[in-house]
Structure 1
Amino acid sequence: MNERKTTAAGPRRKPVQSRSWQTSLAIQDAFVQLLVESEYDQITIRDIVMVAGVALGSFYEYFTSKEELARTCVHFRSKRILKTLEQSRADAAGSPMVQGVERALQALVDMVMDDHARWGQHFLLERLHSPLAQYRADYARFTFQWKSLLAASSDWPTGRDAQRPALTLSMLVYGVLAHTALSDERTLDKDDLCQQLRLAVTSYLAAWP
């Protein structure tokens, strides 16, 4: 049976109320759950609403297509990375640089490793469905948080621009997170992974001119 289609460019409804928000999240969660078990092209909207436990019409209240649902899932996972960095920056404000950086690294590795399979799907969806402009905008936000974390450290040199090291940290950490999420979880040791990432980042910062 053919799935219903629409030509609308954006979501039909923004989930504002608590119940509506829960419905949207249930659809997103069901989609990611199915992605862990099946290939993207094999998943239908009917599969998604069946797992979510909602009516087919409810899907189209929030999403115009499976592709838009994919972009929404990427958006919310990216916001989780951003919020984790923001919280780490706030918690480490006024602390030595290494302490703040290590706090952020631990929080990010925990976040990915504790939900490994779903984060793997996030990075796959991002590659396939995230517009380049959105990807660049998200990446700039991540870099800004690293820059703010460095600049707020008690031992950061006064007046020194943190943009360049922040960009390098953002590239390095994001690359490791993506590779980790896409790797076989059985081959990974979270503590060792975090230690190796700390070593790479702190060594770079110590050697940065």
Structure 2
Amino acid sequence: MTRSSPPASARTKPLKRPRQARARFTVQAIYDAYVRIWQRDGWDQLTTRKVALETGIAVGTLYEYFPSKEALHSGYVRHCIEQMLRLIEERVIAPAELTWQQRVRGLIRHLAGLESDRTWFSPDMMRLEPVVADLRHQKRAYDELLGVWQRLVAACPDLSPTPSPETIEALHLAIWGGRRYALQVNLDTSRIESWAEQMERLCVLAMEPTRNN
């Protein structure tokens, strides 16, 4: 019998999502300050008060969105995933002129963190994961990222026959699992680049139509 992860406390969850442009601007400024303070002082020295002061907003305004620094971290990670999914949709899936091999390369580079615009991750984030995200939230992120692979295949009229669902899920596990492990051991960018190139070759071989007949 397996034991599920304990649910995250209410104080580890963001209270609301920004809807209007001004609110989105404020939350982005909060995230930017959060990253600067973490990089400068470390997680243990990071407080919501410091983030509010660096952002230039009242602590009460920050608490409207994030009741704790754990909730702020949870919101930031979710924000990064959403930003990555948006960029993949715009740059990898939507363009009609890309070949399926180009789409695979673009997807891998985004998932590997080599094409992100405003995201930052620290190895310390891995140890915070059980605190800020329960199994249900991790499963949702897993399904969303698997869905990106499925939409990529659907956007490839030049890829026939299409790879099996089992192949697609195996590739998803290989890439995202590798990204998480690389983060955990803090690989530098040059080694991430090399890993991404090798994974691109393996994914193209696995998806090559002549190898799925």
Equivalent residue number for residue 68 of structure 2: 65
| 2:89 aligned residue (83, 86, 91) | 86
- Preserved CA contact (<8 Å) 1:26 1:52: yes
TM-score for the superposition, normalised by structure 1: 0.76
Could you tell me how far 1:180 is from its partner in structure 2? Answer: 3.8
- Preserved CA contact (<8 Å) 2:163 2:212: no
| 2:67 matches 1:54 | no
- Preserved CA contact (<8 Å) 2:48 2:69: yes
SS of 1:120's partner is coil
- Preserved CA contact (<8 Å) 1:96 1:155: yes
Structure 1 residues 71 and 105: CA distance shift in structure 2, 3 A: same
- Preserved CA contact (<8 Å) 1:144 1:166: no
User: What is the Cα-based RMSD across aligned positions, in Å?
Assistant: 3.1
Per-residue CA deviations over 1:84-124 (Å, capped at 9, x if unaligned) read 33231222x57543232112223444225x767x2236953
The amino acid across from 1:111 in the alignment is: E
Gaps of 5+ in 2: 1-9
Equivalent residue number for residue 6 of structure 2: none
TM-score for the superposition, normalised by structure 2: 0.75
In percent, how many aligned pairs have the same letter? 24
Q: Distance in 1 between the 2:39 and 2:150 partners?
A: 34
Gaps of 5+ in 1: 1-6
Q: Distance in 2 between the 1:146 and 1:74 partners?
A: 20
- Preserved CA contact (<8 Å) 2:66 2:72: yes
Matches within 5 A, 1:160-179: 162-179=164-181
SS of 1:69's partner is helix
- Preserved CA contact (<8 Å) 1:73 1:122: no
Structure 1 residues 143 and 119: CA distance shift in structure 2, 3 A: same
| 1:202 aligned residue (181, 204, 213) | 204
- Preserved CA contact (<8 Å) 2:13 2:75: no
Alignment: residue pair count: 199
Q: Distance in 2 between the 1:208 and 1:122 partners?
A: 40
Higher RCO (CA-CA < 8 Å; seq separation 6+): 2
